[in-house]
Amino acid sequence: MKFLPLIWSGIWRKPGRTILIFLQVSVAFALFGVLQGLRTGVEHAVDAQRADLLLVHSREAFFYSLPLGLLEQIRSIPGVKVAVPVELSGGYYQKPENGGVGMVAVGTDGDWTAAFTFNIAPQYLAALVGSRTAALAQDLTAEKYGWKIGDHIPLVTRTPQKDGSTTWAFDLVGTFTDSDAGGGNSKILINFAYYDQARATETGTVNHFNVAVTDPRLAVPVADAIDRRFANSSHETKTESLRELAQVQVQRIGDLDFLIRAVVSAVLAALLFATATMMMQSVRERTPELAVLKTIGFTDRTVFLLILVEAVTVCVAAAAVGLALALIAFPFAARLVLGIAMPKVTIAIGLALAAAVALMSAAVPATRAARLRLASALAER
Amino acid sequence: MNFVRQSLALLRMNLEGERARIGSVLTIVIGVTCTVAVLVSMLAMGTGAHRQAVAGVRDDEVVIHSQGAQIVQSNISRDELVTVRDLPGIARDSDGQLEVNAEVMAPIEGRWRGTGRRVFFALFGTSDAKLEPPARLTDGRTFRPGLHEVIATNACVRQFDGFELGAKREVRGIDWPIVGHFDQGQSQQCVVLTDSETLMTAFGRNGYNQITVRLNAPSDYETFRRALEAKPSLHLEVKRQRDSVEERFKQFNGLLNFVSYFIGTIMAIGATFGAVNSLYSIVDARRRELATLRAIGFGGVAIVAATLVESMVLALPGALLGAALAWSFFHGMAVSPFGFSFQLDVTPHLAEIGIAWALMMGLIGGLLPALRAARVPVTTALRGT
């Protein structure tokens, strides 16, 4: 404790220099926090995905269609609580430049919502089931296009209806939210029964079936049982949980991972060199003062520790400020990757790295300070 | 003139003394090196992806899509194709056939070689089985219309499983053998081609995604476009191939450039703080020299100018080193960070951007230290030890 004032005065011996080093470390760790946070944030988002919701799709390719007839067979497999046919298509609203709106046609019988990550208010749920041309819009989608309940929404698609038109119109009866961040934020829910009957092509096929299991622990055996049931048939299936599908998504950005690591390494390398030079310079300038300290009885060890603690204090404090900045800036960066939060572990790693940078850059100057030869050091004055 | 002479004399003196302050100088150089290397490497992604996209573009070719649609949503009927073939200005090949290619795009799934990770890409149906330069067949033969046969680029074989000659791809319950391999210039992109009618039958499709038309000359574009727009039965729009590619690229490149410059700026700010620190200590070490110079009549402005130029000169080796590092490590490296592969392209233009960036850092970083250098109080500095 008695050394605190000494360390404090060491830090503020040259305020300009300390402030600049402080800012440099802060900026470096702000960048570190955002980049590293994106990396680990994505990993955490994958782990947060539900492993007990299964998607049954064609073994050939994820988006090839399966016949609707598989539904009853899937429902008969022990452990399957709910199985729902899902057909995906898409269109755009008014102008193609607006971006796409996904049309998710679902079979709305029984407890179908158990097999989805959607959150739908009971009155909206009833309204969707109650009318054939009803649609529910995801909250963000309704917000983007300014849709109100009761609106008639035409979407231009490439799926022809029986009358040849490729424009589909739905009545908006409510909104819903999706807790699965990977599911995008531009989609509407519609009735599969209506959609399948109204379209001119591909009637009686679906993209995949959503399956909820009776017991989360049964997810893997149930998935295997479904795939075994259709093995060697004309429609072989592949059943994967939402978490497994998310992992596939994340693996696509594998090279991005390398990039982030490269940038972070470059930042830390430059930082390490800058702090090391500054510490070296600082100790060199203080040679006479350190010599005086030793003359009045400070041991080599104490002097060594004084220098180290000084460096660690500045670096860790600056890193804390930088990481706090990253925490504030993170939501803006995270917009590029939907729905991830900055994991707390990033902050811990950042602070540890800051301490490591400080120790490495101060080690040589501190050793030099500890080994000062009193006579020559004092003679320099 | 006096001012310039003074500045130059000062600059020479400063630079000659740099060896004695190697630590501070290296801090500046390394900081700038890391910043420029990262900035140039990241920008090289956008440049590389763009170069690959426009590599096969011909100025006499135009592409036709449904009105307001991109290639994926576009749906062109057979009747529309017939009408398009009657439009004026279309070139004919050596056999007298119209150079009109109706293309279909269908999604297929592949697995990365080694990791077995799943990846989606497009299977293209084309009505033209001939390969045009720069594309050329390297192995096997091209596909035959009406048969379920595909040809794939050598990039597919390198990147994904199951694209060897004779391997069968299962698509819509049918086995499609790979009958040939081809290259598309330097492109790293996996492209799989088959006959468009065969592909449409397999997917139960009734429309094309895109029609590519070669005109007699690039200047025929306006005539062709007016003729196409004059047909009331066509709900199509035509674009020059180059414009279409650039349009698709704009958003992707915009995002990439934003991220590159954002990271580049933050790193530059950090490195500039380091440079300011180093320059302060360089100036401080020179207090007596500076005071002496002031005493014998050197102007403050000359000192400021000399210090600013010095700091820019110190930033320069970092810029060159950074660009060189980016070039030696990453130039030509094949990456696929966004689901498709391309080679990073470190161009002289990117090196110029890196150098400009470094000079900017030097200039901004040198401002405060230069002012301090000019304000050294003559009497105290000379009296002090």
The reply to whether B221 and B82 lie within a common domain is yes
Closest chain B residue to A94 measured between Cα atoms?
B68
Same domain, B193 and B267: no
Give CA–CA dist A362/A369, Å, rounded.
10
Question: Tell me, what's the pLDDT at A381?
Answer: 53
pLDDT: which is higher, A340 or B151? B151
- By C-alpha distance, which of A211, A213, A193 is closest to A57? A211
Distance (Å, whole) CA A173 – CA A134: 6
Residue B59 belongs to some domain of the structure:
no
**B22 occurs within a structural domain:** yes
Q: Does B24 touch chain A (CB under 8 A)?
A: yes
Task: Name the amino acid, one letter, at A34.
Answer: V
Q: Is B363 on the interface with A (CB under 8 A)?
A: no
On whether residue B93 sits in a domain, the answer given is: yes
Range scoring the smallest mean pLDDT among A346-350, B129-133, B336-340? B336-340
In whole angstroms, what is the distance from residue A274 CA to residue B274 CA? 6
Last residue of a domain, one of B234, B257, B275: B234
Non-local CB neighbours of A206 within 8 Å, separated by 6+ positions: A65, A66, A67, A68, A85, A86, A87, A192
DSSP state string for B58-116: -TTEEEEEETT--TTT--EEHHHHHHHHTSTTB-B-TTS-B-EEEEEEEEEEEEBTTT-
Q: Is A27 on the interface with B (CB under 8 A)?
A: yes
* Residues of chain A predicted below pLDDT 50: none
Residues B72, B42: one domain? no
CB atoms within 10 A of CB B5: 10
Q: Which of B266, B272, B343 to mutate to test the interface with A (most CBs of A within 10 A)?
A: B266
DSSP string, A143-205: HHHT--TT-EEEEEES--BTTS--EEEEEEEEEEEES-GGG-S-EEEEEHHHHHHHBSSSTTE
- The per-residue DSSP string of B10-35 comes to HHHHHHHGGGGGHHHHHHHHHHHHHH
Instruction: Let me know whether B211 and B86 are in one domain.
Output: yes
Residue A124's pLDDT is 93
Mean of the per-residue pLDDT values of chain B:
87
Residues constituting chain A:
381
Q: Do A96 and B73 touch (CB under 8 A)?
A: yes
Give the range among A109-113, A160-164, B133-137, B307-311 with minimum mean pLDDT. Answer: B133-137
Any idea what the Cα angle at residue B325 is, between residues B322 and B329, rounded to 5°? 145
Residue B144 to chain A, least CA–CA distance (Å):
24
For residue B364, with 0-12 CB atoms within 10 Å meaning exposed, 13-18 middle and 19 or more buried, which class applies? middle
User: Structure tokens of A286?
Assistant: 């203080």
- Please provide residue A321's backbone torsions phi and psi, each rounded to the nearest 5 degrees: -65, -45
Q: Are B208 and B84 in contact (CB under 8 A)?
A: no
Beta strand B174-184 with B135-140 is antiparallel
Spatial CB neighbours of B215, under 8 Å, sequence gap ≥ 6 = B60, B61, B62, B89, B90, B91, B221, B224
Looking at the fold, whether B85 and B159 belong to one and the same domain comes out as: yes
pLDDT tens readout for residues B236-266: 889 999 998 888 888 778 888 888 898 899 9
Tell me the C-alpha distance between B31 and B270, whole Å: 8
As for how many domains chain B has, the answer is 2
* A302–B contact, CB cutoff 8 A: no
The per-residue pLDDT for A24 is 92
Are B167 and B260 part of one and the same domain? Answer: no
Q: Does A263 touch chain B (CB under 8 A)?
A: yes
Query: What value, to the nearest 5°, has the Cα angle with vertex A153 and ends A151 and A157?
Result: 175
B309 and B213 inside one domain: no
Q: What does the pLDDT read at residue A4?
A: 84
Residues 6+ apart with CB under 8 A from A313: A7, A11
Point out which residues pair with B236 in neighbouring strands.
Answer: B66
Asked if B274 lies within 8 A of A336 by C-beta distance, the reply is: no
Contact at 8 Å (CB) between B39 and B357?
yes
Q: Are A132 and A217 in contact (CB under 8 A)?
A: no
Taking alpha carbons only, the member of A171, A149, A154, A144 closest to residue A93 is A154
Q: Which residues contact B20 (CB under 8 A, 6 or more apart)?
A: B285
Q: A61 touching B, CB under 8 A? A: yes
Q: Burial, B296: exposed, middle or buried (Cβ in 10 Å; 0-12, 13-18, 19+)?
A: exposed
- The pTM of the full predicted model, rounded to 2 decimals, is 0.80
By three-state DSSP, how is residue B343 classified?
strand
Nearest CA to A73 among A88, A64, A62, A85? A85
pLDDT in tens, B175-199: 899 999 998 877 778 889 999 999 9
CB pairs under 8 A between A and B: 133
Measured between beta carbons, the chain B residues lying within 8 angstroms of A24 are 270-271, 273-274, 277
**Is B212 within the bounds of a domain?**
yes
What backbone phi and psi angles, to 5 degrees, belong to A362? -95, -10
Provide the residue count of chain B.
385
B23 touches chain A (CB under 8 A): yes
Contacts (Cβ under 8 Å, ≥6 apart) of B307 = B14, B279, B283, B366, B369, B370, B373, B374
Strand, coil or helix: A132:
coil
Query: Which residues from chain B sit within 8 angstroms of residue A91, using beta carbons?
Result: 73
**B114: contact with A, CB 8 A cutoff:** no
Interface test with B, best of A158, A258, A260 (most B CBs within 10 A): A158
Domain boundary among B189, B211, B234: B234
CA nearest to A290, candidates A13, A2, A15:
A13
Which residue in the set A17, A234, A252 is minimally distant from B277, CB to CB? A17
- Using the Cβ of A28 and the Cβ atoms of chain B, whether some distance falls under 8 Å is answered with yes
> Cβ(A101)–Cβ(A188) under 8 Å?
yes
Q: Are residues B267 and B199 part of one domain?
A: no
Residues B332, B259: one domain?
A: yes
Helices (H), B164-286: 196-202, 221-230, 241-285
Q: What is the 3-state secondary structure (H, E, C) of A290-352?
A: HHHHHHCCCCHHHHHHHHHHHHHHHHHHHHHHHHHHHHHHHHHHHHHCCCCCCCHHHHHHHHH
Contact A277 B23 (CB under 8 A): yes
> Does A270 sit within 8 Å of B31, measured CB to CB?
yes
Q: How far apart are CA A356 and CA B139, in angstroms?
A: 55
Contact B371, B290 (CB under 8 A): no
What ipTM score was computed for the predicted complex, to two decimals?
A: 0.78
Lowest mean pLDDT across A176-185, B102-111, B202-211: A176-185
Burial of A375 (0-12, 13-18, 19+ CB in 10 A): exposed
Range of the domain at B219: 68-234
Residue B93, pLDDT > 70, answer: yes
- What residue has token string 């609203």? A93
Q: What is the pLDDT of residue B367?
A: 93
Instruction: Kindly state whether residue B172 falls inside one of the protein's structural domains.
Output: yes
- CB distance B80 to B238 below 8 Å: no
Over residues B207-229, the mean pLDDT reads 90
**Predicted confidence band of residue B380 (pLDDT cuts 50, 70, 90):** confident
- Is residue A202 less than 8 Å (CB to CB) from chain B? yes
Tell me the shortest Cα–Cα distance from B372 to chain A, in angstroms: 12
Partner B contacted by A364 (CB < 8 A):
no
The b/e string for A227-256 (b: 16+ C-beta within 10 A; e otherwise) is: bebbeeeebebbbbbbbbbbbeebbbbebb
What is the rounded CA–CA span in Å between residue B298 and residue B292?
9
Give the model's pLDDT for residue B347: 92
Rounded-to-integer distance, Cα A17 and Cα B65, Å: 62
Highest mean pLDDT among B16-30, B246-260, B275-289: B275-289
Token digits for A81? 């609580």
Which of B23, B170, B337 minimises the CB distance to A253?
B337
Same domain, B116 and B19: no
- Give the A window 129-188 contacts with B, CB below 8 Å: 158, 166
Are the CB atoms for A160 and A199 separated by under 8 Å?
yes
Q: pLDDT digits over B156-171, tens only?
A: 888 888 898 988 888 8
A248/B117 CB distance under 8 A: yes
Q: SS3 for A355?
A: helix
Same domain assignment for residues B49 and B155? no
At residue B385, the 3 state secondary structure works out as: coil
